[in-house]
Every structure is written in C-alpha cells, then in structure tokens.
Amino acid sequence: MTDKIAIGIDLGTSTSCVGVMWQGHPRLIPNEAGAVIHSSVVSFLEDGTVLVGNPAKQRLVTNPETTVASAKRLIGRFYFAEEVEKAKRSAAYNIVEGLDYSVHIELGEKRYSIPEISALILREMKRIACVALKREVNDAVITVPAYFNDKQRQDTRDAGRIAGLNVLRIINEPTAAALAYGFGRKLHQKVAVYDLGGGTFDISILEIGDDVFEVLGTAGDTFLGGDDFDARVLGFLAELFQRNHSFDPLEFRTSYAALRALAEWGKQQLATAQSVEMRMPAVYADAKGKTYGIAATLDQAAFRELTFDLIQRTFQVCDEALRSAGLQTSDLDGVILVGGPTPPFQWF
C-alpha cells in the first residue's frame, strides 16, 4: 500500500459502505462487528450521544422523532420542492425551512442541515476505514446518483468537508459500478447499469473499450427507490390493520414507524421466499394499555401487483436513457444490476 491512499464511499439513501483498493482489487471495509453494509440512519440520544448506522436504525421504531433516515432524498433540495412535501408527510421528525429556502431537520431545540446529517454518516465511514486500516485517511471519492444536479453534488461535497474529508472527486454511481465490472478486463461492450437504490433510480448506458469508459446516455429518477416499495407494503399492512381495528395506524408516529419496519423486513424476505408471514403483536397501545397487533401474509405475486407501476417507471427511465444514447435494447451486450432493492427473482 502506498503512503497516501484514498477511500471510496457509497453514500446511499438506505445503506452506505466504504471501500479501498487493496492489492489491485476493490475491497469493502468492515466495521468492528464485521459488517460492510451500514444503514444510512442517524439517531440523537437525550444525553447528546449520536448513533450512526445499524444501531441507529434499531431506534427507528422506538424513537422515530429523533432518528433520521433517507436524508439523501432531501440533499440539495429547496424547501418548497415536491419531494420535501412528500418527506414532511411521512417523517416523524420536523422538517423546517432554513436560509435561502434550504431544508433543515428540527430535533428538539436543535436544527441540522441535510449536509450536516449526511456528514455524520460520512464521518462514520471514515472512522471505520481508519480503524480497519490502522491509519488516518482523509482523501475520499464519493458516489452520487447520475441524475444529481449541481446543487445536490455540491451539498454532497460540503457534507464530505464537514466530515473532515478531502473529497477528491464526486463520481456517478453507475459509472462506479461499470468500473467495478469491467476495469482491467479489456472488454469491448455496450452495457446498461440498472441502479435501483433505496431512494434513487439511475440507468446509464456505457461503452467499454480497453479500460476506457464512455457514458453514452443516462437518465434517472431521484425520488424512486426501495423506500417506495416499502411504502406500498406499508399501505397494504395499514389497510389490513384499519380493517381489523377500525382506526388508521398511520396517524400515530410510533405505529407508523413499527409498520414501516415490518414492511421493509417483509419485502426483504420476498427476495428469496415465495411468500412471507408478517406478524407484530403490538403495533399500537392505547391509553389503557390495550395493544393492537397485525398478522398478514404477502406472496411475490401480490407484491408484484402492489409495485407494478414502480417497475414501469424504471422502464420509462430506461427508454429515456436509450434514446439519449441513440441505441436500442438489441445493441446492448449486457445489463449490470446494482442496488439493494434490485430483486433476484423474475418480475414477469
């Protein structure tokens, strides 16, 4: 390893990871528990402690008002944007307006900008790298969705600076995936990188030739991802709950958070199972201490029906990218599937 190294950070909507080139190959860096995938969640405790990653995600159900997830969906947004309005309707914490129509998150008496929240995640990725590599690391490359605009990219760079990183470059996520796929293999191919992440979807068409990667076309939707699939399962659960108990659980922040976590878990199980049984005995407790639970079964066919229009939205974006590249699907040599929500089972 050379004296000066740089780490690569995938700052994701749902999860993040950090890697380094090791003996000529990219390697993800694990934390002390051995995990290489870390939840992009930040939770603020009453004593001033800030939890980041998987421990913070565990508090989404018990402490939703002080736990922030999917902040990436708000980075670079103006307060009046439609995406911010969507987030305000579902977030358990307060989303407020800052200077110059910026977006801030209000937690108790403190306010945080979105770059400040993202910086906490980036700082944790840096810490993991420094501990594992047993050295101080300051230089980093950070990936962003291909369709991020200049403001979103600049806010990501600012988040890196706040985290104490020297951001060498902001690189598009599909380009990074194509590099991981083809660099050093001397390929001559046209490939599509289908990147369905937790909060964003990108499709990029690249031509690979002798380790030269040329982007022919790109398109994306910065408000389409795994969170939306979770929301569909959440709606399914909420409708069943209301039918059984005659009140809407989504009107209460704690029951909303509990069902949201159950929905995400159920969706993940369907990646490898034909059906999943989702049970939670205490979704809501009333003033008298009476608890209300839920038990529901969801199979892959029903899940496809719930999310069919979301998949169609990705195909529309794919068509847009192909048109911008001047290509048809028959011109492609392959498709690289990227992103946690990308399903391993057949949709159609």
Catalytic residues, which ones?
Answer: 10, 72, 173, 195
d(C-alpha 184, C-alpha 179), whole Å: 9
d(C-alpha 305, C-alpha 315), whole Å: 16
Angle between helices 253-269 and 226-245 (to 10 degrees): 120
Amino acid sitting at position 242: Q
> Which residue from 159, 150, 158 is spatially nearest to 125, judged by alpha carbons?
159
Torsion of CA 123, 129, 130, 134, to 10 degrees: 170
Buried b (16+ CB within 10 A) or exposed e, 172-187: bbbbbbbbebbeeeeb
d(C-alpha 159, C-alpha 225), whole Å: 22
